[in-house]
């Protein structure tokens, strides 16, 4: 009853959400010598966070919870607008699944850093909640940087030279881009707008010379390197040295989605759709995102390492979100929100599958997968469903998000966007379908032994997320209803 009463107040609910992962991380440290208890704390914390996010009311009325005000006029404050709640809902929900997967995956290995792993996971989700519910750009920046720092140990988890080098590159690019471009961009916004609060219609609308609007947006586009637009994308393939569950959640959900979430939020709430659409050079961000989609898809086609292929696929799919937001109209924002959800459930499945294959066979290369569908039929079934969503085949989640992106493209008569979607869809098919043919129809390699499916927590997790990709109709309308307060102007037209 006390919890229910607390959640009736959005401010108290946000306080609980923001504190839960950090309390969970502290408890994990306290019970670090008891692995069963540590795993139990992980599951209880992740489930609790998801329930708290699900029960939180949505509105677009601004900040409802102020943590502190370290600088006069710049509070660390949080609000419950619908786009942030969607991001928090996806991340917290998939944390539960990834926790189950991680317990099964790491349970097969002797690893002295398991507690650090789960603690950093909890801290990363706490940072993600801060990003999702940030009521101003100052708060978002603080948690965006915190996310970079707490995920560094996860990327470097194995402690090998390759892991340390990959983690170092991860840190250098993400922090370097923030210092060089993100911070100056925030300062410029504050100087012109006098505030960093997120506001519908944009705080800069009418306050910035149109000639400087797109250059400032480009500062954010490259300063927020987690969005992985080229050429600030190379950290993502380098970070694939992390364990499979880390790649799955942080590089399919939390980290990369924090990047495109931030870009979309800046476009909608700092600049505003109308201001950007009427600015000189308005199509430049769209062209950059479109180029990234095609170039990254071509790179994915050339990869033999499974996780490297998935990394370049992620870079391309992230730029779908940037491209949708860069159409500068509400239906583009809705397409961005839908694609964040669709890509999350499909790509986490693909990384789960890559980890399951490695766990049972030691295979890391696509060329090693001949006939593996006979050994791991359920795992490869999940891969098939997720790959279909990446391609955009009905009735998967990827089909619906691409459909809305095409609607936005036709609304603005952006045939460049239509062309990018068409070409990239063909490229997606070109690098996913041969894997399926190899897995199900080619004879196994001579050295391939019979090894069966992965442990049940691993298998259950990847089958569940695969199911989410083909049941999108069951929850896609709920996502659109949630986003209606900020993207609602398109609903009458497209119902």
Return the pLDDT at 294: 96
Domain ranges of the chain: 1-275, 283-495
356 token code pair: 């399951």
Phi-psi region of 90 (alpha: psi -120 to 50; beta: other; left: phi over 0): alpha
The whole-number pLDDT of residue 459 equals 92
Query: What pTM, to 2 d.p., does this model score?
Result: 0.91
pLDDT at 488 (0 to 100): 58
* Residue 365: strand, helix, or coil: strand
Whole-number pLDDT of residue 1:
40
Residue-wise pLDDT tens for the chain (495 aa)?
444 444 447 778 899 999 999 999 999 999 988 889 999 999 999 999 999 999 887 664 556 788 888 888 889 999 888 889 999 999 999 999 999 998 888 775 666 788 888 999 999 999 999 999 999 999 999 999 999 999 999 888 777 888 888 888 988 999 999 999 999 999 999 999 999 999 888 899 888 888 999 999 999 999 999 999 999 988 888 887 878 888 887 777 788 899 999 999 999 999 988 899 889 999 999 999 999 999 999 999 999 999 899 999 999 999 999 999 999 988 888 889 899 999 999 999 999 999 999 988 888 899 999 999 988 999 999 999 999 999 999 999 999 889 989 988 998 889 999 999 999 999 999 999 999 999 999 888 777 677 888 888 899 999 999 999 998 877 777 777 777 676 654 444 433
Contacts of residue 142, defined as CB under 8 A and 6 or more positions apart, other chains included, come to 76, 130
- The number of residues making up the chain comes to 495
Cβ contact 170:152 at 8 Å: yes
> Sign of torsion, CA 474 478 483 488?
positive
What local confidence, expressed as pLDDT, does residue 492 receive?
41
Q: What is the pLDDT of residue 155?
A: 87
HSE (side-chain half, CA atoms, 13 Å) at 450? 0
Q: Which two tokens stand for residue 47?
A: 């489930």
């Amino acid at each position: 009853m006390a919890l229910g009463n607390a959640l009736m107040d959005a401010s108290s609910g946000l306080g609980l959400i923001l504190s839960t992962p950090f309390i969970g991380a502290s408890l994990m440290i306290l019970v670090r010598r008891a692995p069963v208890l540590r795993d139990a704390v992980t599951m209880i914390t992740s489930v609790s966070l998801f329930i708290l996010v699900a029960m939180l009311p949505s509105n677009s009325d601004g900040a409802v919870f102020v943590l502190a005000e370290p600088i006069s006029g710049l509070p660390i404050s949080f609000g419950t607008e619908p786009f942030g709640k969607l991001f928090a809902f996806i991340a917290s929900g998939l944390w539960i699944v990834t926790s189950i997967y991680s317990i099964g995956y790491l349970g097969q290995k002797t690893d002295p850093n398991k507690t650090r792993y789960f603690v950093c996971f909890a801290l990363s989700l706490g940072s993600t909640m801060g990003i999702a519910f940030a009521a101003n750009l100052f708060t978002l920046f603080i948690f965006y940087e915190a996310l970079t720092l707490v995920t560094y140990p996860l990327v470097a988890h194995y402690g090998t030279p390759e892991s340390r080098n990959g983690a170092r590159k991860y840190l250098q690019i993400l922090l370097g881009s923030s210092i060089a471009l993100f911070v100056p961009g925030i300062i410029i916004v504050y100087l012109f707008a006098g505030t960093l609060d997120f506001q519908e219609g944009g705080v800069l609308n009418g306050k910035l010379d149109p000639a400087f609007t797109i250059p400032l947006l480009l500062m954010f586009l490259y300063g927020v390197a987690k969005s992985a637009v080229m050429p600030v994308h190379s950290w993502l393939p380098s970070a694939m040295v992390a364990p499979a569950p880390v790649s799955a959640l942080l590089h399919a959900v939390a980290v990369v989605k924090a990047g495109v979430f931030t870009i979309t939020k800046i476009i909608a709430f700092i600049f505003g759709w109308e201001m950007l659409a009427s600015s000189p050079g308005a199509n430049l961000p769209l062209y950059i995102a479109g180029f990234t989609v095609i170039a990254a898809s071509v790179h994915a086609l050339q990869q033999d390492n499974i996780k490297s292929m998935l990394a370049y696929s992620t870079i391309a799919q992230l730029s779908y979100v940037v491209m949708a937001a860069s159409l500068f109209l509400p239906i583009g924002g809705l397409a961005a929100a839908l694609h964040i959800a669709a890509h999350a459930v499909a790509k986490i499945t693909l990384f789960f599958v890559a980890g399951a294959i490695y766990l049972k066979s030691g295979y890391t290369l696509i060329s090693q997968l001949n006939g593996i569908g006979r050994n791991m039929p359920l795992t490869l079934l999940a891969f098939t469903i997720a790959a279909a969503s990446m391609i955009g085949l009905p009735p998967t989640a990827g089909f619906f998000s691409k459909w809305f992106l095409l609607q936005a493209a036709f609304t603005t008569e952006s045939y460049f966007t239509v062309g990018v979607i068409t070409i990239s869809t063909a490229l997606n098919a070109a690098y996913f379908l041969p894997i399926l043919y190899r897995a199900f129809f080619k004879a196994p390699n001579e050295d391939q032994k019979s090894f069966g499916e992965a442990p049940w927590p691993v298998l259950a997790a990847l089958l569940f997320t695969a199911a989410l990709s083909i049941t999108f109709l069951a929850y896609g309308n709920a996502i659109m209803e949630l986003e209606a307060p900020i993207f609602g102007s398109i609903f009458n037209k497209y119902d």
